[in-house]
Homo-oligomer: A and B are copies of this chain.
Amino acid sequence: MERTITATKILHINRPFKLDCGETLPALDIAYELYGTPSPDNVILIEHALSGDAHAAFYHSGDEKPGWWDGMIGPGKAFDTDRYCIVCSNVLGGCKGTTGPASINPATGKPYGLDFPPVSIRDMVDVQRTLLTHLGIERLKCVAGGSMGGMQTMQFFCDYSRMCSSFICIASALKHSAQQIAFNEVGRRAIMADPRWNEGSYYGQVSPEAGLSVARMIGHITYMSENLMQEKFGRSRKDRHTANIFRPTFEIEHYLDYQGIAFVKRFDANSYLYITNAIDNFDLITSISSTGRTRGQGRGRGDIHDMRPKKGLVITFTSDWLYPPSQGLEIVKFFNALNVQTSYTQINTDHGHDAFLTDISAQTEIIKGFLAS
Residues of A within 8 A of B (CB): 114, 118, 175-179, 181-183, 185-186, 188-190, 192-195, 199, 210-211, 213-214, 217-218, 221, 226, 229-230, 232-235, 244-246, 248, 250-253, 256-257, 260, 273, 277, 280, 283
Contacts and interface: CB of A to CB of B under 8 A. Distances in A.
Contact of A182 (B188, B211, B256, B280): B256
A230 B176 CA distance: 10
A357 to B, nearest CB: 19
Nearest to A117: B245
A277 B179 contact: no
Contacts of A217: 182, 185-186, 189
Contacts of A234: 177-178
A121 to B, nearest CB: 15
Given A179-B230, A195-B195, A283-B235, A253 B185 contact: yes
14 contacts: A114-B244, A175-B235, A177-B226, A178-B235, A181-B253, A182-B217, A185-B217, A186-B218, A190-B193, A192-B246, A193-B194, A194-B194, A199-B244, A245-B277
If over half of A's interface residues share one DSSP class (helix, strand or loop), that class is named, otherwise mixed; here it is helix
Contacts of A226: 177-179
Contacts of A118: 245
Contacts of A233: 178
Nearest to A190: B214
A260 B182 CA distance: 13
Contacts of A185: 217, 248, 250, 252-253, 256
Nearest to A276: B246
B195 A256 contact: no
A248 to B, nearest CB: 7
A178 B214 contact: no
Q: Which 9 A-B pairs have the closest CB atoms?
A: A193-B210, A178-B233, A178-B229, A178-B252, A185-B253, A179-B226, A186-B217, A118-B245, A182-B221
Nearest to A243: B114
A179 B250 CA distance: 11
B189 A214 contact: yes
